[in-house]
Chains A and B, each alone.
Chain A
Amino acid sequence: NAGVTQTPKFQVLKTGQSMTLQCAQDMNHEYMSWYRQDPGMGLRLIHYSVGAGITDQGEVPNGYNVSRSTTEDFPLRLLSAAPSQTSVYFCASSYAPGQYNEQFFGPGTRLTVL
């Protein structure tokens, strides 16, 4: 199993540009989520999904969109990038609700918005 994969590893954007951060998992996990981590800070939840077709907002959802058309993929879209979105983004997944819910994290995407 590849686990949780994220692409790209690094990205530089200009203010106002849009892009999609990709996240995929091959463990048949129902639950997936996106976090951002700013320097010296803990992780903050952006959006999460409890299964295909279902998404919900986390702590800091503004400026981001998500969709979950398949169990495997959970892309994060930045609609109009702003310097405040410069951060490291982590995707995570875990088993279906009601089961052991250890979360598995991807390696992260380092995004810089100029």
Chain B
Amino acid sequence: DAKTTQPTSMDCAEGRAANLPCNHSTISGNEYVYWYRQIHSQGPQYIIHGLKNNETNEMASLIITEDRKSSTLILPHATLRDTAVYYCIVRTRNSGNTPLVFGKGTRLSVIA
């Protein structure tokens, strides 16, 4: 699985959009970008994933650059409950035999 690079921490004002970047310059053609988050003291939670098209669900939007070397997770209207560590993970969709590898992620603090 390709390696990812994320900022260590970010702040966001409540009600504003939170844009979390991720670099994955060595991504290969069959690798997907996945995002998880971990709210304090809880288990990680899946957010969204994508291959090359932008994706949106009830939690977030995922914007992947055309060359697929980077992506941005967007929380459109951040709330205090979105304060968490966000993990960007790149892996093939059929990687069920291989474990999910978490880096250190980005600690997002949503401020009132």
Contacts and interface: CB of A to CB of B under 8 A. Distances in A.
Nearest to A100: B93
Interface residues of B, number: 22
Nearest to A97: B96
Contacts of B36: 103
Contacts of A96: 96
Given A97-B94, A101-B96, A108 B43 contact: yes
Interface string A25-44: 00000110101000001111
B89 to A, nearest CB: 10
B46 A103 contact: yes
A30 B105 contact: no
A101 B94 CA distance: 7
Contacts of B105: 42
Contact of A33 (B45, B46, B99): B99
B17 interface: no
A105 B101 CA distance: 14
Contacts of A98: 94, 96
Contact of B41 (A42, A44, A108): A108
B99 A48 contact: yes
Given A41-B104, A42-B104, A97-B94, A90 B99 contact: no
A94 B95 CA distance: 11
Interface in B57-112: 87, 93-97, 99-105
Contact of A42 (B43, B94, B95, B102): B102
Nearest to B43: A105
B93 A101 contact: yes
A4 B42 CA distance: 13
Contacts of B100: 33, 45, 92, 103
Interface in A86-109: 88, 90, 92, 94-108
